[in-house]
Amino acid sequence: MLTIYGVYRSRASRVYWMVEELGLEFESVRVIQARRLANPLAADALINTLSPDFLAINPMALIPSIKDGDLVMHESLAITLYLARKHGGPLSGKTVEEDGLMTMWTIWAATEVEPHSVRIVYVYDDEKQNSDDGKATINVAVRSLKKPFATLEKHLATNDYIVGNRFTAADLNIAEVLRYAQTQQALFDAHPNISAWIKRCQSRPAYIAMQATRSEEPV
């Protein structure tokens, strides 16, 4: 049985979306971010990323992690690629070349997009989007996203999806990374190919199911 450690309101959302796409049975172990607790090391604290039991799974104190048989994995973007490849089907690469491109685009999302998009979501998480500091942080992040957005916009001008002209783990990974910036409507309006593509990705039943469960979680 696949075990997922994390919560839907975290980067684990990517993994939960993937298991919905693949129709996998899984066990979810609720592990919340330590920063959400006043005293994460208290004896009665909810299990969190600093709990000794979770640190035995992931010493980096980050979610998500998975356990699949004897395999323990961390890093959400790598986990989704692993699950797609293990279980096959259209979400995985059909050739070694497609595997390579899916990995390339996923690493691109992690290095060129997420460092900036995540800054935006953190501002909103801290409810500082209307403060001067919050607005300044968002403006810098949006400016930093313009170059990678231009790259993806050009790619999607001739491709409905990232690799193989079908929805794959690469689309799932990139859509989840870009979701952090979706509060910035003007940025997406300026890139119509990206806007249309992410709507296609987020209209999938598996995404809708994941978000329905996510919305039921405590904030």
CATH 1.20.1050.10 domain range(s) in the chain: 96-204
| 89: pLDDT strictly greater than 90 | yes
User: Is residue 64 pLDDT above 90, yes or no?
Assistant: yes
Topology, domain 2-88: Glutaredoxin (3.40.30)
pLDDT attached to residue 58: 98
Question: Mean per-residue pLDDT for 67-80?
Answer: 98
> Across residues 11-17, what is the average pLDDT?
98
Mean pLDDT of the chain: 97
Contacts 24+ apart (CB under 8 A), 105-108: 105/162, 105/163, 105/170, 105/173, 105/174, 106/77, 106/81, 106/169, 106/170, 106/173, 106/174, 108/148
Q: Are 182 and 138 in contact (CB under 8 A)?
A: no
- For residue 62, what are its two tokens? 């980050």
The residues of the chain that CATH labels 3.40.30.10 are 2-88
Percentage of the residues of the chain whose pLDDT score is greater than 90: 99
Task: Say if residue 85's pLDDT is above 90.
Answer: yes
The answer regarding whether domain 96-204 maps to CATH 1.20.1050.10 reads yes
Q: In the prediction, which pLDDT does 176 show?
A: 98
pLDDT at 219 over 90: no
% of the chain at pLDDT higher than 70 = 100
Q: What pTM value is reported for the model?
A: 0.96
DSSP 8-state assignment for residue 42: S
What is the DSSP pairing of strand 2-6 with strand 26-30?
Answer: parallel
Provide the Cα torsion 69, 75, 76, 80; round to 10°. Answer: -50
Q: pLDDT at residue 163 above 90?
A: yes
